[in-house]
Amino acid sequence: MLTRKQLDLLDFINKRTIRDGVPPSFDEMKDALNLRSKSGIHRLITALEERGFIHRLAHRARAIEILKLPEVLEHRESGGFRPQVIDGSATSRPPEALPVERLNALEVPIMGRIAAGTPIEAISQKTASVAVPGSMMRSKGLHYALEVKGDSMIDAGINNGDIVVIREQTHAENGDIVVALIEGHEATLKRLRKRGNAIALEAANPAYETRVYRDDQVKVQGRLVGLIRTY
C-alpha cells in the first residue's frame, strides 16, 4: 500500500520518463510534489525501492528504473510502456528514441565545446555540423550545437560528450539552462537564476557550487532546446 505522496512521486517519475526519455531530477521531483527539501524526496524514493516499485543504480544520476506500477496507475497507462534505466550505455537506449535519419532533420553547426563544469574559453567558430530533428527547433531564430565537456549538469540529464542544441538569444527566464558568457571570455552551460541585480549560475551536480555574478558580468548567448546522445 502506497501513501498519496509515494503514489504521486511514482506517477510523476513514470510520466516524465515517458515524455523526456530520462527520469526527472530530484529538484524537479521536489518542485512537483511541493516539498521544501530534497530529503523528503530521498525518503519517498527509498520507500518506493523497498516496496519493489523502482530500482536505483548507485552513483549514476537519474538512474531510476520503474519495475512495476500499482493498479491505480496501470489503468492510466495507454501503451504499457516500461521505462528503462538511462545511463548512457547501448543497452539502456530509451525504447521510444528514434534515429535522427527517420525524422525531419536539419543541419546545425557545431560551434565547439561548452563547459558543464569549470568555464572554458568562449566558443567562436564552427568545427563541424550535426543533423538535428526539426522538432527541436520549433521556435524561431538561429540555432547552433555544442559538445558538452564536464559533468556539472548530469542531474539535468546532460552528460559529458553529449551534443546540446542551443537557440541563440540574449534573454532567459528563471530556471532556463543557458549558454552564459562570463566577463566576456568564459563560456559555460548552467541553469540561470536571477537574484535582484545578481545572476546565479547553478550546476545540476552537488559536487559543483553555485556561482553568483553581477548581472553585468554575465551575458546569455542562448537557451538549451534539445540534446543529442550517441549510444
Domain boundary among 90, 122, 142: 90
Provide the pLDDT for residue 130. Answer: 81
With a cut of 90, say whether residue 69 has pLDDT above it. no
Q: Same structural domain for residues 209 and 163?
A: yes
With a cut of 90, say whether residue 144 has pLDDT above it. no
Provide the pLDDT for residue 215. Answer: 92
With a cut of 60, say whether residue 98 has pLDDT above it. no
- Which is higher by pLDDT, 160 or 106? 160
**Is 190 noted as a catalytic residue in this protein?**
yes
Q: Same structural domain for residues 126 and 189?
A: yes
With a cut of 50, say whether residue 152 has pLDDT above it. yes
**CATH number of residue 31's parent domain:** 1.10.10.10
How does residue 78 score in pLDDT terms, banded at 50, 70 and 90?
Answer: very low
Region 47-60: mean pLDDT is 81
Provide the pLDDT for residue 217. Answer: 93
**Is 194 noted as a catalytic residue in this protein?**
no
With a cut of 50, say whether residue 146 has pLDDT above it. yes
In the chain, % of residues over pLDDT 70:
74
With a cut of 60, say whether residue 114 has pLDDT above it. yes
Domain membership of residue 129 as a residue range:
100-228
Q: Which of 92, 190, 194, 219 does the annotation list as catalytic?
A: 190
Q: Same structural domain for residues 224 and 114?
A: yes
Amino acid occupying residue 55: H
Q: Same structural domain for residues 31 and 127?
A: no
- Which is higher by pLDDT, 139 or 176? 176
Region 60-66: mean pLDDT is 76
Q: Which of 37, 152, 194, 219 does the annotation list as catalytic?
A: 152
Task: Quote the Cα angle for 30-31-32, to 5°.
Answer: 95
- Report the alpha-carbon distance of residue 213 to residue 198 in Å, rounded: 6
With a cut of 50, say whether residue 162 has pLDDT above it. yes
Q: Same structural domain for residues 58 and 168?
A: no
**CATH number of residue 137's parent domain:** 2.10.109.10
Q: Same structural domain for residues 138 and 204?
A: yes
Region 28-57: mean pLDDT is 87
With a cut of 80, say whether residue 166 has pLDDT above it. yes
Domain boundary among 90, 114, 129: 90
On whether residue 95 sits in a domain, the answer given is no
Looking at the structure of the chain, the number of domains it has is: 2
Q: Same structural domain for residues 207 and 115?
A: yes
SS3 144: strand
Region 22-41: mean pLDDT is 88
Domain boundary among 41, 60, 90: 90
Q: Same structural domain for residues 50 and 131?
A: no
Q: Same structural domain for residues 223 and 125?
A: yes
Contacts with 27 (C-beta within 8 Å, 6 or more apart), sequence order: 38, 155, 204
SS3 217: helix
Mean pLDDT across the chain: 79
Grid cell locating 216: 553585468
Q: Same structural domain for residues 118 and 160?
A: yes
> Beta 143-149 vs 105-115: how paired, if at all?
parallel
On whether residue 122 sits in a domain, the answer given is yes
Q: Same structural domain for residues 118 and 212?
A: yes
Region 112-116: mean pLDDT is 83
Over the stretch 127-139, which tens digit does the pLDDT of each residue have?
A: 678 877 776 666 6
The distance of Cα 200 from the centroid of its chain, to the nearest Å, equals 18
On whether residue 121 sits in a domain, the answer given is yes
With a cut of 90, say whether residue 103 has pLDDT above it. no
- 106 burial (CB, 10 Å; 0-12 / 13-18 / 19+) is middle
Provide the pLDDT for residue 91. Answer: 45
On whether residue 125 sits in a domain, the answer given is yes
Q: Same structural domain for residues 55 and 121?
A: no
